């Protein structure tokens, strides 16, 4: 992928601040759109968002006004000077958005899972010069996200960005969508020139953690945010719980701390180097221990094979996990973290033992 020039649009649009895209989940009425937009007039908010085609999980909910709402957004652009962003989910939406000269088109999480839909949109906007933002797919699949970006790159779109909005999970958790930071960070390290925007609204699913999530985004060097904003959030027709007022958004922006990326004073640099060398040493030890543990797991695999005993011994596995969780408590290590690590280790041990079972 030719990624060198992909981020230039961001510098043009927001040279001094992180990019801020704000506006309601859905365009409900002309009055609601204009009232919300007027509350957002501030040099630190460069783009107004509003959904006009809403992908709803169940039928019967408000699915957006479609074409009817596009002139309302044009009015916002004329009145406030903000750029306008809408979600498009098929070629027909793309054609209408181009007709109404919408500046930024984003691909929603339910669309980026579908290569046919992504391709048809890419073909429809080809040559338009529009900025395209691609939300992560709902399922935690990095390749699918990359694939969607590649489809736009292939038709020659250079003004590209991605939006991290979290991933669906079958387990009820702290957030509406699991952040799975590692997937976004992996994307960032593979494509450092593609701007990455954080959508705290859809990750959190509730108002009270938008600020913390946005600060986390700044700390992780995200280059922008998309935050759902409504002049009367409680009465919103979609995503009411996660929307905040324009006033609250401005307070959040005031409070956000853009931390320096580089240390300048020599004392801090020395300290950092000292601690980093300790981290490297500990990482080496961890790797050696893991290698040693796998060797022992292989020995156990050989014994099991000889006696035709099944690889998975559920009772023993539960004991290992319980023991680790109990010990971790005194060491200030969270149960969630330890379970994650031990599950991964156990999975790898099982794979090693199965390999031994397959050997002739
Ligand atoms: C939205 O931005 O309102 C939306 C539908 O988002 P997502 O595609 O992330 O669910
Ligand atoms: Mn929404």
Residue whose CA lies nearest to ligand 1 atom number 1: 25
CA dihedral angle for residue 215, residue 217, residue 222, residue 223, rounded to 10 degrees: -40
Residue whose CA lies nearest to ligand 1 atom number 4: 108
The rounded Å distance from CA 202 to ligand 1 centre is 7
Domain with residue 334: its CATH number is 1.20.59.10
Tell me which residues have their CB closer than 6 angstroms to ligand 1.
25, 51, 55, 87, 108-110, 135, 165, 202
- SS3 state at 112: coil
Task: Report H helices in the chain.
Answer: 8-13, 30-39, 70-80, 91-99, 115-125, 142-154, 181-190, 200-204, 210-219, 246-255, 266-306, 314-330, 335-358
Other C-beta atoms within 10 Å of 40: how many? Answer: 24
- Please report whether residue 260 resides in a domain: no
The rounded Å distance from CA 229 to ligand 2 centre is 10
Domain with residue 172: its CATH number is 3.20.20.70
**How high is the pLDDT of residue 349?**
96
Residue whose CA lies nearest to ligand 1 atom number 6: 108
**Confidence at 3, pLDDT banded by 50, 70, 90:** low
Identify the nearest ligand to the CA of 163 by its number. 1
Other C-beta atoms within 10 Å of 257: how many? Answer: 7
- Tokens (6 digits) for 229: 């904003």
CA distance 241 to 244: 8
Say if residue 43 is in the same domain as residue 71. yes
Strand pairing report for 131-135 and 83-88: unpaired
The rounded Å distance from CA 89 to ligand 2 centre is 14
CA distance 291 to 279: 18
Residues 229-264 pLDDT 10s: 999 999 999 999 999 999 999 999 999 998 877 888
Q: Which residue(s) pair with 196 in the sheet? A: 162
Q: Of 84, 82, 160, 67, nearest to 121 (Cα)? A: 160
The rounded Å distance from CA 290 to ligand 2 centre is 43
CA distance 81 to 76: 7
Say if residue 177 is in the same domain as residue 297. no
- Please report whether residue 2 resides in a domain: no
Identify the nearest ligand to the CA of 49 by its number. 1
Other C-beta atoms within 10 Å of 101: how many? Answer: 13
CA distance 25 to 37: 13
Domain limits for position 234:
8-255
Say if residue 136 is in the same domain as residue 276. no
The rounded Å distance from CA 228 to ligand 2 centre is 7
* CB contact burial 186-198 (16+ within 10 A = b; e otherwise): ebbeebeebbbbb
**Confidence at 279, pLDDT banded by 50, 70, 90:** very high
CA distance 20 to 1: 27
Strand pairing report for 160-164 and 47-49: unpaired
Cα distances (Å, whole numbers) of residue 201 to 88, 245, 249, 360: 19, 12, 11, 54
126: which DSSP letter? T
- Tokens (6 digits) for 118: 């992504």
197, 221, 255 - which closes a domain: 255
Identify the nearest ligand to the CA of 226 by its number. 1
CA distance 217 to 165: 11
Say if residue 241 is in the same domain as residue 281. no
Say if residue 88 is in the same domain as residue 157. yes
**Confidence at 57, pLDDT banded by 50, 70, 90:** confident
Identify the nearest ligand to the CA of 57 by its number. 1
Q: Of 237, 192, 252, 181, nearest to 20 (Cα)? A: 252
Q: 197 φ, ψ to 5°?
A: -110, 140
- Tokens (6 digits) for 147: 């694939």
Q: Which of 61, 64, 93, 135, when mutated, tests ligand 1's pocket best, judged by the most ligand atoms within 8 Å of its CB?
A: 135
Say if residue 102 is in the same domain as residue 78. yes
Say if residue 35 is in the same domain as residue 72. yes
Please give the span between the terminal C-alpha atoms of the chain, in angstroms, as a whole number: 43
- Please report whether residue 87 resides in a domain: yes
Say if residue 174 is in the same domain as residue 213. yes
pLDDT at 169 over 70: yes
Cα distances (Å, whole numbers) of residue 89 to 14, 214, 303: 26, 26, 55
Say if residue 231 is in the same domain as residue 271. no
More confident residue, 60 or 199: 199
Residues 74-101 pLDDT 10s: 999 999 999 999 999 999 999 999 999 9
Q: Are 57 and 262 in contact (CB under 8 A)?
A: no
Q: Of 6, 21, 12, nearest to 192 (Cα)? A: 6
Full-model pTM: 0.85
Long-range contacts of 316-324 (CB under 8 A, 24+ apart): 317/346, 320/346, 321/346
Q: Which of 165, 210, 227, when mutated, tests ligand 1's pocket best, judged by the most ligand atoms within 8 Å of its CB?
A: 165
Residues 297-337 pLDDT 10s: 999 999 999 999 999 889 999 999 999 999 999 999 999 99
């Amino acid at each position: 992928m030719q990624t060198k020039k992909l981020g230039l649009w961001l510098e043009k649009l927001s040279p001094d601040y992180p990019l801020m895209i704000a506006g309601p989940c859905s365009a409900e009425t002309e009055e609601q759109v204009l009232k919300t937009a007027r509350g957002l007039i501030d040099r630190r908010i460069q783009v107004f968002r509003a959904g006009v085609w809403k992908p709803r999980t169940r039928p019967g909910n408000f699915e957006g006004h479609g074409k009817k709402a596009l002139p309302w957004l044009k009015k916002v652009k004329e009145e406030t000077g903000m750029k306008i962003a809408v979600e498009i989910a098929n070629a027909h939406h793309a054609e209408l958005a181009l007709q109404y000269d919408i500046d930024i088109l984003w691909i929603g999480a339910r669309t980026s899972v579908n290569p046919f839909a992504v391709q048809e949109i890419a073909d429809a906007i080809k040559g338009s010069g529009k900025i395209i933002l691609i939300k992560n797919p709902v399922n935690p699949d990095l390749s699918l996200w990359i694939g969607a970006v590649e489809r736009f790159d292939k038709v020659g779109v250079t003004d590209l960005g991605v939006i991290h909005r979290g991933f669906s999970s079958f387990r009820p958790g702290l957030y509406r969508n699991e952040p799975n930071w590692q997937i976004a960070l992996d994307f960032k390290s593979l494509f450092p020139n593609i701007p990455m925007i954080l959508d705290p609204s859809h990750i959190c699913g509730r108002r009270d953690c938008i600020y913390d999530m946005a600060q986390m985004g700044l700390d992780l060097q995200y280059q922008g945010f998309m935050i759902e904003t409504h002049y009367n959030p409680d009465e919103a027709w979609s995503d009411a719980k996660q929307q905040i007022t324009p006033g609250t958004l401005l307070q959040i922006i005031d409070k956000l701390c853009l931390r320096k990326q580089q240390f300048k004073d020599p004392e801090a640099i020395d300290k950092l180097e000292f601690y980093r060398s300790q981290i490297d040493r500990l990482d080496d030890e961890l790797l050696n221990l893991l290698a040693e543990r796998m060797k022992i797991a292989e020995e156990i695999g050989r014994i099991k094979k000889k006696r035709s005993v099944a690889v998975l011994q559920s009772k023993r596995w539960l004991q290992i996990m319980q023991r680790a969780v109990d010990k971790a408590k005194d060491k200030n290590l969270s149960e969630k973290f330890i379970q994650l690590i031990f599950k991964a280790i156990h999975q790898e041990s099982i794979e090693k033992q199965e390999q031994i079972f397959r050997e002739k």
